[in-house]
Amino acid sequence: MGLGLIAPHGGQLIDRVLGNGSPGVYDGDGPAIVLTERQQCDLEMIAVGAFSPLTGFTGQEDYDSICDRMTLADGTVWPFPVTCSVDQQTAEAIATGRKVALLDDQRRLLGYLEVAEKYTHDKAKQAAACFKTTEEDHPGVKVLISEGDVCLAGPVEVVCPKYEADFAEHRLTPAQTRARFAERGWSTVVAFQTRNPIHRAHEYLTKCALEICDGLLIHPLMGQTQPGDIPPDVRMKCYQTLIEKYYVAERTMLSVLPAAMRYGGPREAILHAIIRQNYGCTHFIVGRDHGGVGKYYGTYDAQQIFDDLPGEGLGIAPLKFEHSAWCTACEGMVSAKTCPHGGETKIFLSGTKVREMLAKGEHPPVEFTRPEVADILIASIAK
């Protein structure tokens, strides 16, 4: 992994991929589970080490500790149970100690779960602890409620992390990003989490962070999101165009993150930070309402949670940024920390307003988004 790189969360970078990770074929022999989209994302994250130190799906002791204390049973910080839950009938047909085939939604073999235990999925407890709400209008709670009532726990062995993976050339594992950081001589790397195109305020944050780090990892989430999000191929084109025209190539890397969004606000920010530490990053940008949705979390709850982590906390350092915008008086990007002027000098646009402008073929102000990005979004809407 090279000298000078940050240690993975828990101290060891996990690898649960068998051999060269070639696709496998389920022969129909023995028990099998068809994983949900969320579970498929989680399996890949476990397999490649992005969820280090996890080696499999969460057991009950860890489950209860995560919900109650936001740590694994051994005290390591961990924000969400990572479960393989099935319905009662399926669970009854699988004996503890058996190896179960894990299939995707086309019944292709992804890997195996060695079932060490089975336990009841306490969804109400998990929702209240991890999402701070049990309302099914919350997208994370909605997915949780839809899952099975019994959790199967145990280590996994993965034959193929993902069939027909999108953006394969940018789908780097933690071991691969660490190797590339070392090749470039980066010992400090800042990660930027996004599931949207990067607008001017986000560009400003990443460049501020890059001033104090050797390199920048733009790491868009390309796993399960929610309806209404901009399609992955459109987002990738936006990222690539922006990096080509407005970032220093030798200091910037683009890699996709195959994780599922949980929309857990503060706990989501912790998970995103842990993941980036495993990918080799030393710093992580935490902005306004990171990982949030609707009105479920306070504007800066996701920043404040880093100040009160249990145990030894995390190795990665959060970079906490306030809301940024273009100030017509300052003639540049600013935040409340750097600009003395009132809100009337700021160029703020709601997401609804931006979508309306793009749908009409209109470009938002250049102070809000780069014109090249607007061109891509307008073209995608016109299709």
Among all residues, which ones are annotated catalytic? Answer: 195-196
Say how far apart CA 68 and CA 149 lie, in whole Å: 20
Q: Which among 26, 20, 29, 70 is positioned nearest to 47, based on CA atoms? A: 20
Residue at token pair 């991890």? 130
C-alpha to C-alpha distances, 92 to 89, 113, 148, 239, 314, nearest whole angstrom? 5, 16, 12, 47, 39
CB count within 10 Å of CB 308 equals 9
Angle at the Cα of 56 from the Cα atoms of 51 and 59, rounded to 5 degrees: 110
Token readout for 48 is: 């490649």
Say how far apart CA 52 and CA 367 lie, in whole Å: 40
Beta bridge partners of 285: 319
Residue at token pair 């726990």? 153
- Residue 252 host element (H or E): strand 252-254
